[in-house]
Amino acid sequence: MTNFKSVLVIGSGPVSSAQPATSAADTDLSCRALVAAGKTVILVTSDPNVFRDQRMATHFYVSPLTADFVSQVIRRENPDAIIATAGGQIALDIVRTIAASGLLDQLHVELLGSPLAAINQTEDGEAFRQLVASEKIPLPESTYTSSQQEALAIANDIGYPVMMRRGQTRGIARNSSELVDMITDSIGGGRILIERAIRSFKAVELVVMRDAADTCVLLGTLENFDPVGVNPVNTVAITPAQSLTDSDRSALRAASFKVARAIDLQGVATVSFAVEPTSTNWYMLKFRLGLAWGTDLVERATGYPVATVNTAVALGRNLADININGDVPDAPRMVAAIEPGIDAIVARFPQFPQSGLSGAKLGPQLAAGGAIITAGRMLESVLLQGIYSLRQSPTTVIPASMRAWDEDALTQHIIHPSDLRLAAFWVALERDYTVEELAELAHVNRIFIAAVATLVRTASNLAQNPNDRALLHTAKSYGFLDTTIANIWSSSESEVRALRADAGINPTFKALDGMGLIQQPTATYYATYEQENESVAEGTKRVIVLAPNAAAPWLNLAHESISTKMLTAINDAGYTPILVGSSPRPLICPGAKHYISNVSPELIRDIVDIEQPVGVICQTAGREGSSVARMLSKLDIPVLGSTVGATRKVPRAQLDAILDGLSDAQWRVAQDRNVKTTTSATHLAVDAIADGENVAVMGVINSLEQNESRAGTVLAVTPPRKKAAPMTDKAIDITVTMSKMMGLVGFVHADMVVEDGTITVTFIGPSASATVPFLAKTLRCDAITLACRVLLGQKLEDSNVESGQLPQAPGVHVLLPVLRSGLMAPGKSIPETVQTGLVMGSDLSLGKALIKAFAAAHEPLLDHGTVLLEEGTEASHELAPRLASLGFQIVGHEHAQQLNDVQLIVMNEPDDQLRRRATAHTVPVLNTVAADAILQVFEARAFSLAPLVPTENE
């Protein structure tokens, strides 16, 4: 292999319906492996949750993950090599496009890992079909076409039901009428794939690794709770696969290796199969190169460092020469050529926004916005942890509203895959449905339903046998919380805990370590009720950090990023960091420990009993952390930093007097959580770090959407627009003054509304907001390390930091929520909108930063096309001639129902229906302020195109 020094890494970006991306952790781990190999790393990412760190990248680019922008970085940096397998399908598509343009050949940039031909064969559907057929591997009957009539003919030949894929749309049609509707309503255009629908088959995935020396290893197997036809991200995925026979496993393994060799795979891949439950028949469905959520789950379950080994193989190393225990002191040598074992069951549960839990039908269209993991010795405990984590019903497991379903509603929930299906099985089993009946109705493997039946039966036995110690041990082994048992026994949680203690029924913690063979730099533990405890408190100064799992999925991504970055800062400060949470993403802090937990108060108390920490950091878990902090404070467990209930109380009269003192000739300052606003209001969010005496402000974020206030859910910018400089200074002054007045320590977040010369504080409190990772990249200092020092007891002045704004990097930085169509709620014609994350765009002007942000979200702002313009306002009247002069065709609200030919919407107050329709069609929505900013950019680069002036004699 060519000797090279610099490597460009296409990292994590947004998750869209057609192009799932990898996580920030995968990006970080891949970069660190390159740095450890002595390479200069150039990282390109649009993910605000990736923190800057010299240990992972020398040159850090916040850029849209598109072929155009990545090409610009390549021309600027001229790297020796590029790696695509750390960035998911988005990165693979970008590399294919750039390679086809000739740029890699022109600049002599080497592609690391699997060759370009392998990417083309696996990413092009028709090429993949030909490859699999040539290897005599079975796959479902399918054909591509560009014609609706041909699609109907193909479907008739195959036989209904059929799977239809086109652009961003996937669906199962049971007849020709449904197929016509799907094709007509499809979003994104392009070729139509008609494929035999194999809905009752088991969905199984294998994660495999191969090197250039042709060593192939099977790293893990996964099985989905729901059958084929439900997107794997929408359903529970369990490793190891629970119902594969040895012969099935051997056949699928052999087929995966056969394709890996045919394409010269060099690195990791995830292979999807459909396995018929009642025979030995199976089909290969997909072969995806690189890191993905499935490789993350296998890495968490086995301890095998998939991302690190994938990078080493891309660099040309052979699996037999890679020591996967190399980063752990005194650990025995273990080569990457092993096939790791697993002595636990680990599951990945999809997360849907709590407001959207409706029982809406799940299918091939990606709908979940996030995920958590659970782990245990038994399938029952793994499933119950997931139910607790996602339903938030610790006393009853299943909410009363679900137990009130009538038979028709219950049957629909059983038959159709949905976000409430596990709850439906529980309710049905309580109503004496049998496992066999449910398996036949739902096409779900009996193993999974039988595990739910065991849980239901245990709850019934508890009700019939109060205070039975043997039954109590069984219930705890299955994962029942003390609050649930107390509710069944009409007792209290403290009484159940006391009974457990008296009976010696206490949790022990087991390591996920490849059956003791793999020593992870970050050890991971799960709770059981056995004899031996494998987690031992080490070091003299231990700090627990909480990560959330019950908030909105996109919030979890941001808070997980803060939590894991905090682990590194704690470790650098000389303490032992311990993470408590249920993130499915690999951890990146050597020397840390991780307890997989749904952050229930009960389990945190158990962990605290073992670790005896100097304190617990709850602010990193957002609102969930606030509730846990209150519980810990009542138990006299030290909480680091301020908590919501323990801030300094200031009498209302004194508060009003202080705020009145901040008022001046330009601004009146007030506080009102329920202030009434109009569309002319400006919304601000402020993040800061306080030590009780001084307050360092990270930044002020200005919403760019009318009458919207929550930073992170709306289009926003920092620093606020130029005209808002006096308002920004005042917002900083207010945050500093109120934080001192309340004695806040740690992270501080404040929300404000500005209207008619009044700045009203609607919220201020101790919390690490989801906007912290975004603002951290707009500063010249390491904000998380600074916050860590404060939480550990230092003062800001110890770091030479005074009250006020921290030093900012130049430029304008835009934060944009990434939205996509989610579930189609019963009785609705337009899918709900799901926020899956955030992207950022940075440049020297607002317009350019906006263009980058929308490109990063895969909603490019075109400089021509059809624009749906708001009617009857002064702002839109001023924008209309400017849009027309640039070549836009302007249409009115009559086009709002059909957006197939609309490229842009400019409207200050679009209704919810239009927003959801725009999300489904990936049409950007801008208000008039943002539209003005981008038009300035388009106008600056536009050439004058006017006809010649007539001559005088014409």
Q: Where are the domains of the chain?
A: 6-112, 141-196, 202-342, 395-504, 509-644, 648-765+778-809, 816-941
- State the Cα–Cα distance between residues 779 and 781, nearest whole angstrom: 6
Q: What CATH code would you report for 509-644?
A: 3.40.50.20
Which segments of 547-694 are extended strands (E)? 576-581, 593-596, 615-617, 639-640, 668-671, 682-691
Q: In three state form, how does the secondary structure of 524-538 look?
A: EEEEECCCCCCCCCC
- Helices (H), strands (E): how many in the chain? 31, 36
What is the predicted pLDDT for the residue at 896? 81
What is the predicted pLDDT for the residue at 954? 55
Q: For residue 73, give Cα distances in angstroms to 6, 9, 68, 658, 681.
A: 13, 11, 9, 50, 39
What is the CATH topology of the domain spanning 6-112? Rossmann fold (3.40.50)
HSE at residue 440, side-chain half, CA atoms within 13 A, is: 5
What is the CATH topology of the domain spanning 816-941? Rossmann fold (3.40.50)
What is the predicted pLDDT for the residue at 722? 60
HSE at residue 446, side-chain half, CA atoms within 13 A, is: 8
| Sign of the alpha-carbon dihedral angle for 550, 556, 562, 564 | positive
Check whether 916 has a pLDDT greater than 90.
Answer: no
Contacts 24+ apart (CB under 8 A), 252-255: 252/204, 252/206, 252/221, 252/282, 253/206, 253/208, 253/218, 255/135, 255/137, 255/284
User: Token pair for residue 439?
Assistant: 């398996």
When mean pLDDT is compared across 182-191, 290-299, 654-663, the lowest value belongs to: 182-191
Mean pLDDT of the chain: 89
Higher-pLDDT residue of 720 and 103 is 103
What is the predicted pLDDT for the residue at 20? 47
pTM, whole model, 2 decimals? 0.92
Q: 395-504: same fold as 6-112?
A: no
Check whether 16 has a pLDDT greater than 60.
Answer: no
**Strand 668-671 relative to strand 282-289, pairing:** unpaired
What is the CATH topology of the domain spanning 202-342? D-amino Acid Aminotransferase; Chain A, domain 1 (3.30.470)
Q: Using only C-alpha atoms, what is the Rg of the chain? A: 28
What is the predicted pLDDT for the residue at 14? 75
Q: How confident is the model at residue 357 (pLDDT cuts 50, 70, 90)?
A: low
Answer yes or no: are the C-beta atoms of 879 and 886 closer than 8 Å.
Answer: no
- State the Cα–Cα distance between residues 586 and 303, nearest whole angstrom: 9
What is the predicted pLDDT for the residue at 299? 95
What is the predicted pLDDT for the residue at 18? 39
DSSP state at residue 517: T
What is the predicted pLDDT for the residue at 920? 81
Residues 280-284: what's their mean pLDDT?
94
pLDDT in tens, 539-579: 779 999 998 776 566 777 888 889 989 999 999 999 999 99
Residues 845-868: what's their mean pLDDT?
92
What is the predicted pLDDT for the residue at 19? 43
User: Token pair for residue 593?
Assistant: 């420990």
Residues 854-877: what's their mean pLDDT?
90
The amino acid sitting at 448 is: F
The amino acid sitting at 715 is: L
Upstream peptide bond of 584 is cis (omega within 30 degrees of 0): no
Q: How confident is the model at residue 713 (pLDDT cuts 50, 70, 90)?
A: confident
| Residue burial 133-171, b: 16+ Cβ < 10 Å; e: rest | eeeebebbebbbbeeeeebbebbeebeebbbbbbebbbb
pLDDT in tens, 423-438: 899 999 999 999 999 9
Residues 394-402: what's their mean pLDDT?
86
What is the predicted pLDDT for the residue at 681? 84
Tell me how far apart the terminal alpha carbons of the chain are, to the nearest angstrom: 71
What is the predicted pLDDT for the residue at 551? 59
Q: How confident is the model at residue 238 (pLDDT cuts 50, 70, 90)?
A: very high
**Strand 695-703 relative to strand 716-718, pairing:** antiparallel
Check whether 373 has a pLDDT greater than 50.
Answer: yes
When mean pLDDT is compared across 43-47, 268-272, 360-364, 754-758, the lowest value belongs to: 360-364
Residues 723-748: what's their mean pLDDT?
91
pLDDT in tens, 770-805: 999 999 999 999 999 999 999 999 999 999 999 999
Answer yes or no: are the C-beta atoms of 599 and 621 closer than 8 Å.
Answer: yes
Overall CATH class of domain 395-504: mainly alpha
When mean pLDDT is compared across 161-170, 217-226, 725-734, the lowest value belongs to: 161-170
Higher-pLDDT residue of 470 and 825 is 470
Going by C-alpha positions, the residue among 278, 287, 208 that lies closest to residue 243 is 278
Answer yes or no: are the C-beta atoms of 199 and 228 closer than 8 Å.
Answer: yes
Check whether 366 has a pLDDT greater than 90.
Answer: no
The Cβ of residue 538 has, within 10 Å, a number of other Cβ atoms equal to 11
| Residue burial 464-492, b: 16+ Cβ < 10 Å; e: rest | eeeeeeebbebbbbbbbbbbbbbbbbebe
pLDDT in tens, 480-504: 999 999 999 999 999 999 999 999 9
pLDDT in tens, 641-686: 998 776 677 787 888 888 888 998 889 999 998 888 877 788 999 9
Residues 712-720: what's their mean pLDDT?
89
Going by C-alpha positions, the residue among 459, 306, 439, 299 that lies closest to residue 375 is 299
Check whether 618 has a pLDDT greater than 70.
Answer: yes
Give the highest mean pLDDT range of 53-62, 434-443, 836-845. Answer: 434-443
Answer yes or no: are the C-beta atoms of 730 and 702 closer than 8 Å.
Answer: no
- State the Cα–Cα distance between residues 766 and 747, nearest whole angstrom: 6
What is the predicted pLDDT for the residue at 700? 96
Q: Which CATH number fits domain 141-196: 3.30.2130.10, 3.20.20.70, 3.40.605.10, 3.30.1490.20?
A: 3.30.1490.20
Helices (H), 102-244: 103-106, 116-123, 125-134, 148-158, 176-185
- Name the CATH superfamily housing domain 648-765+778-809: ATP-grasp fold, B domain (3.30.470.20)
